[in-house]
Amino acid sequence: MEMPKPDAAVLARRVELIGALRRIVPGEGVIVDADELRAYESDGVMAYRQMPLVVVLPSTTEQVSEVLRFCHEAGVKVVPRGAGTSLSGGALPLADGVLLGMSKFNRILEIDWEDRCVRVQPGVTNLGITTAVAHRGFYYAPDPSSQIACTIGGNVAENSGGVHCLKYGLTTNNVLGVEMVLMNGEVVRLGGKHLDSEGYDLLAAVTGSEGLLGVVTEVTVRILPKPETARALLLGFPTVEGGGQCVAEIIAAGIIPGGMEMMDRPAIHAAEDFVHAGYPLDVDGLLIVELDGPEAEVDHLIAEVERIARGCGATYARVSSSEEERLTFWAGRKSAFPAVGQIGPDYLCMDGTIPRKELPRVLRAMTEMSQRHGLRVANVFHAGDGNLHPLILYDANRPGEIEKAEAFGADILKLCVDVGGVLTGEHGVGVEKRDLMPYQFQPEDLTHQQRLKCAFDPDGLLNPGKVFPQLHRCAEMGRLHVHRGQIPFPDIPRF
């Protein structure tokens, strides 16, 4: 994995740049000391590390605007960062770049109960929004597993998901508006408390753009009334295929569960050892199905899902009889990553999405790859929407093993693309999957994505080296490649 070569001229101007940044963000808001900078050298992907040129922690939109305008004019790169929980290296610093930390934007600005939305600064945590509105029976729906730490600004950048996406959508479906600063320092507002866009839906383009288009300084999200009740089923199958069949039949019956998660045998055992959730150990596939809504509906659907599961060969079925039991069902799934961390010194977490019906084929191929690469793999799976999280176990202390794990991971992601899926469902491309982009997209597909960047940041100063394996100059992509003088449509009459 290579990052853009640092600009020696910028490195040479470090002292001067720091002085200018200090004039914009006074006091402790500019960090230059190596010991303090180290806290920012990586995000959730610890394998990638890089010390930034300098860290700037602005506290107002005006400061963000001035910092960006200054960097734009000085030709200095900027990497935005929220809580730094990215699982794809989206906030990995650049040696010649300013790391723009948004942690001081941590206030909830307005809770509008009547219009069912909340206006917050981007450094507020995902869970912080739900916590602020829970006392009146509301919550914010997307719930990535890092929700205690990850910020809403980072969620917008990554279009974060969670276990409830199938029914309630991703970040993009729950954000109503943002205030955003462009690389040239201009401030734009997209959306608001009203629905839909008056012109181009730039909010949709910005959500999930991994910090390449602008720096979000305010976010308006919709909040939902908490469902009256939620109950979960734990369903065990002798084969993962049986579980996959059950998922398909639940959806075919017109049921959209609040959550539907699957684990394979290695993941079940790791989770059970770790939290003792009471999972059955004699099954190859374990499905957690959560139904939420009005009590009358949940009771009706629990029975319906159990009937479908039996028909698909479930050998184990347990319905949560209390809130405590429901949370126990989830405890194992939610701690699957650390649980797997217990059985192998290190693990790589992959994030492909596949059409659900391809699950048996993908799992069989993964077993074969596991043998070929000589590394173990455990699978947790957002079964409802086909998002796989294979956890590849390796030992970083053994020479060459990280490379083996990365090669195994790349094979899995390519397989996801081969069966009609995608490289990343919710963790983002970042630097981690950047070089695989040409496997999913043709050159003209990628060019059309990069052309969007030209409208927002034509000089490519914002978070370069992420998402796209090759940086093209906007002038080059803007040039039309046309051949004039051909006789068009020889097969149709001319007038």
Residues between 188 and 207 with contacts to other proteins, criterion CB under 8 A: 188-190, 192-202, 204-205, 207
Alpha helices in 142-281 (DSSP H): 152-158, 165-168, 202-206, 240-252, 265-275
The amino acid occupying position 383 is: A
| Site for other proteins contains 322 (CB under 8 A) | no
| Site for other proteins contains 166 (CB under 8 A) | yes
CA distance 70 to 79: 14
3-state secondary structure of 75: coil
> 111 to 140, contacts with other proteins by CB under 8 A?
112-116, 137-138
The two tokens of residue 318 are 């347990």
3-state secondary structure of 393: strand
Question: Which residues in 414-450 are b (16+ Cβ under 10 Å) and which e?
Answer: ebbbebebbbbbbbbbbbbbbebbeebbeeeebeeeb
Side by side, which strands form the sheet with 175-181?
108-112, 117-120, 215-222, 175-181, 187-191
Give CA angle at 331 (328, 332), nearest 5°: 110
Tell me, residue by residue from 375 to 414, as one string, x for binding to other proteins by CB under 8 A and - for no binding: -------x--xxx---------------------------
The strand pairing partners of 189, in sequence order, are 179
| Site for other proteins contains 311 (CB under 8 A) | no
> 136 to 155, contacts with other proteins by CB under 8 A?
137-138
3-state secondary structure of 151: strand
Tell me, residue by residue from 68 to 107, as one string, x for binding to other proteins by CB under 8 A and - for no binding: ----------------------------------------
> 19 to 58, contacts with other proteins by CB under 8 A?
none
The CB-of-209 to other proteins minimum distance in angstroms stands at 6
> 221 to 250, contacts with other proteins by CB under 8 A?
225-228, 248-249
Alpha helices in 25-145 (DSSP H): 34-37, 61-74, 126-133
Binds other proteins (CB under 8 A): choice among 97, 242, 266, 421: 421
> 266 to 295, contacts with other proteins by CB under 8 A?
293-295
Binds other proteins (CB under 8 A): choice among 187, 365, 402, 407: 187
In 20-162 the beta strands, taken as DSSP E runs, fall at: 30-31, 54-56, 77-81, 97-101, 108-112, 117-120, 138-139
Nearer to other proteins, 115 or 325 (CB): 115
Binds other proteins (CB under 8 A): choice among 39, 256, 396, 471: 256
Binds other proteins (CB under 8 A): choice among 20, 51, 134, 251: 251
Binds other proteins (CB under 8 A): choice among 52, 97, 154, 208: 208
The CB-of-180 to other proteins minimum distance in angstroms stands at 10
Residue 357's alpha-carbon distances to 17, 36, 267, 410, 424, in angstroms, are 54, 49, 21, 21, 18
Nearer to other proteins, 313 or 438 (CB): 438
Binds other proteins (CB under 8 A): choice among 44, 161, 242, 266: 161
Q: How many residues bind other proteins (CB under 8 A)?
A: 105
The CB-of-335 to other proteins minimum distance in angstroms stands at 22
CA distance 326 to 35: 44
> 422 to 451, contacts with other proteins by CB under 8 A?
422-429, 433, 437, 440-442, 444-449, 451
Stretch that binds other proteins, among 72-80, 179-187, 336-344, 367-375 (CB under 8 A): 179-187
The CB-of-28 to other proteins minimum distance in angstroms stands at 31
